[in-house]
């Protein structure tokens, strides 16, 4: 059972956690921008072209030392910040739970070492394309871009590129907003890693607190963010209750930059009673500002809410074919949710959906858009 007050507290905490990720990402961008300035200045100090092999070797030595230090500093920053966040998250969750239980029930937090062990040892399952990912390795892999910087310089020298062309390969071109260089790839990688790592850290911290208090917590509820950007995987998991006695216990992050979270399911006899809501923010295609923001019951599932949206909004979220099925095949919101993913939460193709669900197959056949979707 959920506590509305606890639901509100933890969903609001998730919003603050996302702001933490934004702040950490901004700090990373500042570091990478300084590296970009250094690379431009250092390479341009060689003149129009790198004159000799000896000059190249000296340049590479300087650049490798600087880039390796920069990426090492970023990794250290991440580990330090996420370790502190895990402690704060666990303490906040425990305190929030304490505020909603009855009588003399005591909610315990967990040790710092236990938190970090769970975060570093439990892998992230990021879906079909990425599989299981180790938390530490995900962060350390950002440093692979250091080798790419050196490779770009030595390769450019071998191909006879000018220093300006080498700089453009590293920093990007003004015409493309500097988005076509190796440093910008590092920026994008860092953003994805920060947001994914944050989700993993907060999820594992919450889960350890829930397990520590197994006398009052029997599992958790997966809660997705309700907006246009919500992935098919997270839409399918929204409001799914996972018990600690279940064989399969999926937890976010379900993909890179996942925003889903977990809320404790607590035995009713330990809870004070009260109705929480959560935010809905569906936005028009191509319009990042205009959107219908409102509140719905905290326990309403994503597809139940989507059922009440206009057809154009449903098509924006699901795509035209799935939108038609969603509206017209006779499936309930829950039936459609189950039809969208397999038993472990991976999205199904239309062909697979039709194969598994007779209502979908019949609808697609009767409306003659079977060809190209179902063999």
At a CB cut-off of 8 Å and minimum separation 6, what does 150 contact? Answer: 60, 63, 64, 67
Residue 82 lies in a domain: yes
CA 202 to chain centre: 12
Stated pTM of the model:
0.76
Judge whether 32 and 190 are in contact, CB under 8 Å: yes
Residues 217 and 291 in one domain: no
pLDDT higher at 338 or 19: 19
At 374, the pLDDT band (50, 70, 90 cuts) reads very low
Find the domain containing 121 and state its range.
Answer: 4-223
Is the confidence at residue 329, as pLDDT, over 80?
Answer: yes
105: in domain: yes
Q: Are 125 and 219 in the same domain?
A: yes
Q: Does residue 235 form part of some domain?
A: no
Q: Are residues 109 and 181 in the same domain?
A: yes
- Judge whether 268 lies within some domain: no
Query: What is the b/e burial string over 278-307, where b = at least 16 CB atoms within 10 angstroms of the residue's CB?
Result: bebebbeeeeeeeeeeeeeebbbbbbbbbe
| 181 and 38 both lie in a single domain | yes
Gap between the Cα atoms of 213 and 232, Å rounded: 32
Specify the number of domains making up the chain.
2
Token pair recorded at residue 332: 């309930």
CA 343 to chain centre: 21
* Dist. CA 140–CA 293, nearest whole Å: 38
Domain co-membership, 53 together with 199: yes
Dihedral of CA atoms 263, 267, 269, 271 in degrees, nearest 10, equals -10
Place of tokens 């057809």: 311
CB 324 within 8 A of CB 367: yes
How would residue 121 be classed by pLDDT, with cut points 50, 70 and 90?
Answer: very high
- Going through the chain in order, the beta strands assigned E by DSSP cover 124-125, 132-133, 217-223, 241-243, 261-266, 277-283, 291-297
pLDDT per residue as tens digits for the range 23-76: 999 999 999 999 999 999 999 999 999 999 999 999 999 999 999 999 999 999
Strand segments, DSSP code E, in 11-137 are: 124-125, 132-133
pLDDT in tens, 275-307: 556 667 776 555 444 445 566 666 677 888 888
SS3 374: coil
Q: Is residue 274 part of a domain?
A: no
In this structure, are 297 and 201 located in the same domain?
no
Same domain, 218 and 301: no
264 bridge partner residues: 220
Do 38 and 165 reside in the same domain of the chain?
yes
Single residue among 180, 201, 223 that ends a domain in this structure: 223
Sign of the C-alpha dihedral computed for residues 313, 316, 317 and 323 taken in this order: positive
Same domain, 311 and 209: no
Determine, yes or no, domain membership for 346. yes
In a domain, 262, yes or no: no
Domain finish residue from 201, 223, 245: 223
Asked whether residue 240 is assigned to any structural domain, the reply reads no
pLDDT tens column, 247-281 = 999 999 999 999 999 999 999 889 876 555 666 77
Are 206 and 313 found together in one domain? no
Are 289 and 216 in the same domain? no
Last residue of a domain, one of 223, 239, 272: 223
Assigned token pair, 319: 């795509």
């Amino acid at each position: 059972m959920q506590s509305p007050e606890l639901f509100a507290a933890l969903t609001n905490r998730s919003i603050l956690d996302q702001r933490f990720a934004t702040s950490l990402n901004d700090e990373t961008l500042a570091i990478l921008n300084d590296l970009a300035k250094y690379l431009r200045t250092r390479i341009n100090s060689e003149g129009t072209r790198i004159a000799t092999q000896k000059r190249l070797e000296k340049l590479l030595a300087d650049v490798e030392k600087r880039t390796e230090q920069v990426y090492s500093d970023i990794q250290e920053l991440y580990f330090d910040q996420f370790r502190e966040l895990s402690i704060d998250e666990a303490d906040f969750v425990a305190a929030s739970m304490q505020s909603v239980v009855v009588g003399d029930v005591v909610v315990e937090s967990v040790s710092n070492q236990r938190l970090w062990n769970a975060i570093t040892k439990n892998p992230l399952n990021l879906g079909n394309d990425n599989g299981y990912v180790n938390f530490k390795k995900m962060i350390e892999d950002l440093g692979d871009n250091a080798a790419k910087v050196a490779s770009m310089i030595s390769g450019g020298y071998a191909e006879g590129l000018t220093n300006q062309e080498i700089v453009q390969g590293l920093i990007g071109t003004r015409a493309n907003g500097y988005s076509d260089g190796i440093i910008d790839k590092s920026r994008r990688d860092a953003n994805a890693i920060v947001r994914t790592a944050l989700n993993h850290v907060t999820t594992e911290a919450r889960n350890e607190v829930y397990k520590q208090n197994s006398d009052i917590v029997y599992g958790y509820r997966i809660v997705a963010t309700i907006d246009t950007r919500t992935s098919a995987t997270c839409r399918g998991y929204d409001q799914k209750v996972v018990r600690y006695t279940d064989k399969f216990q999926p937890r976010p992050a379900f993909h890179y930059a996942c925003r889903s979270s977990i809320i404790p399911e607590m035995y009713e006899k330990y809870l004070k009673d009260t109705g929480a809501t959560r935010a809905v923010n569906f936005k028009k295609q191509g319009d990042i500002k205009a959107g219908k923001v409102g509140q719905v019951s905290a326990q309403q599932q994503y597809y139940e809410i989507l059922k009440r949206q206009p057809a154009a909004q449903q098509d924006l979220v699901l795509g035209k074919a799935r939108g038609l099925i969603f509206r017209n095949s006779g499936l309930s919101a829950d039936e459609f949710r189950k039809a969208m993913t397999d038993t472990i939460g991976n999205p199904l193709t239309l062909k697979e959906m039709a194969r598994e669900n007779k209502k979908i197959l019949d609808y697609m056949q009767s409306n003659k858009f079977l060809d190209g979707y179902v063999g």
